[in-house]
Structure 1
């Protein structure tokens, strides 16, 4: 993984130079200092009052987050000439090294290309300086960028192990390690995992796996809702299980952090980066997605795309939309578990064969029962039973109230007779000449106990080829049905059961 840290970005955002006696303030602390102010004893981390006391001529300027993001986006575009896979991450740019190495041929050529762009940047903007870090993981590369070094392949774990615990780990964790005599991360790396879990709990287990490079950091912003992506580089000998394992931990931490703020992830984008392009898949979960669900969908998508794609070099999950809706509490109710299994099955089939291959019923506007029902591609959740605004037209002639439980795609021809066995006719005004008494369904004759209607429907009456039909609702001791009269014949349109 390649990490580029842009020093001086906050100065550039407020139009300050290194020769100005300027310091950038964020939340009451100095977060960036120009060289002129640094020579006067102002350093990063000072309180504003302390900095003014040390340098009375110091000019304090508030950090401009919006302009910093704009400048970082411009810098990212400049580095796109080296690789289109650069992404923003906490005021830095990150990209998978493997993809660039395959393009340029060697790691040295990648570094030369990056440094060439960096030199042109510093010539155009003297406030800036670019620090480059390369390692096997984002965590190790983030450490390397602070030292400005490149870690050879396969040596990232040893490189991380050489750092002091208070240099890499938070104070709460490093303090516990120093209490048991561990000064270096390497001592922590070689503990048994069961010992770490028992002694330091889940948080300690996370840092243990991170230092051993079993998992990697997510590409995140300062706030859970500003997270750009959870990503992992894919190597030639990687299995789907390894890829899923590396993504699971940062994704789970991300969703837990968001949940503490009362947020759930309802829409995400799964991306598989190959040597020739990107394959993306949108995921929507109405009541919030868990890390397990997202990883499962990633694996299904990877399996479905395997025959049609080139070599995989990166996998990532990008949050797109958050909601304050709480996740539904899981229970052991059989019906709920059955519904969950159905949803998972539909989603997996759609991932494997495409959304347009899995159709589910949905309600829409229309006069006839067949028009009111539609088949739409599966989107990861059941369609809303409420009609959209586009479908809430008056639709004169439609039947309000409960719809039949069974609607025939191709209506069945039936016969409607009166008590004497004479066919029932309807005149042009929609008036029945006799009262219906018998409904003949094939060889079955049903005695009619009640009749409602008729309702006359004339569609597109202003055209020459208009459609006109009459509806009746019939009640028998066995069932309730909806029949229609069209083209001088009776048809069974729906069955209420």
Structure 2
């Protein structure tokens, strides 16, 4: 029988909110939202009670909660403010493993011997974090379980899971637990297949899961079973993959060290890739000229790219050089040590097809912009399945795996025929579509148009319609009153030769009212 490592995890919910509140001097009871690229990436509990959610645009969030305090995200500050928490963990046990600022873990085996059991470890941790100023008024949850995944879920619920009970603890959790951000194609597929809990997923034969869902599905299956303490094929890499940066003269600025570390970060990732490997957990060591040292382990949910390595180096150095226990001298050495690696599999395609120096330069430039402005500052389009042009594209942060949430290969009855419009309007613009008598164009219950369009416009000035096509009615999710949508689409060309995709939202059945028309897209 395999024995899995007992871990204690500490989780600070809404850590970007806690950090932004501390930096801005806001009270713990204020409704706060942290935004990046004009979208909410984290919000406080009071803001959630007012309807604010991650992913909302800033204006929509403020519309739901007029008293909302909107603050920008500062990832360097998140690492700096989290440093005292890490120091408290290090006082309990060495080898703290940081997933990200706000979530960290340590092994339990050593501390339990010193503190007389897991209860003693919990009490020591509680005392260690009780006096940290940044955590005053903030939630801090601690959990213990077998394995990294189960320990994180236990921490999110503030629970201690008895040895050997992690599988039973996980089985009733929703399948969305595998991807809290809600952007996993695997989780979306499992939900559509009727797999709602981790227990239902774990009950599937491992061989069939691997055959149907591939390595990612097999890894998620082991997580659901509570038997995956390490990533797939995790192993200690050979020492030749360790890279070192020596700085002469010593450097005491975080941005200068990060700029100098780009070369070794690229070497770190490239050397592993040349052997068919990618890093999922690294150890970053920094040494000052007077002998002080900081050592942290950073784990990534996926694989660490160059920008990911640099971000973690910046976070750690920001917390070290700006914290209360900052070194007395400048940094003279930075060491990157891969702790766990996985096979890379197929290589990611170049940005615009093919391989070349142009792609590499573009990748470096985009990574630099993303590092300066935040994870969601550089977006790339992903083609998805859908009926409307707006549904067929989705923007994802550059560097994330561009997997569609809805398969483009599925049949989509009512899909708009080719050619696709060249410009999508976000948001769509209200429009007028009138017949020859200057009355709004009406669509019957059977999708017929008694009077064809003669005039069209988005303002006071209307242009004559020279040609048109449609209407194409779409009746979506008619079985769900809350999500049902009845629209009709038309293509119109005005006297100036401009072509538009016009959508009309159908009124309630039997009301006799005309549709509410809007312009969704423009053909070039």
* TM-score bracket, shorter-length normalisation: 0.3 to 0.5
Greater length-normalized contact order (CA 8 Å, ≥ 6 residues apart): 2
TM-score (norm 2): 0.42
When Rg is computed on C-alpha atoms for both structures, the one with the higher figure is 1
TM-score in terms of structure 1 length: 0.44
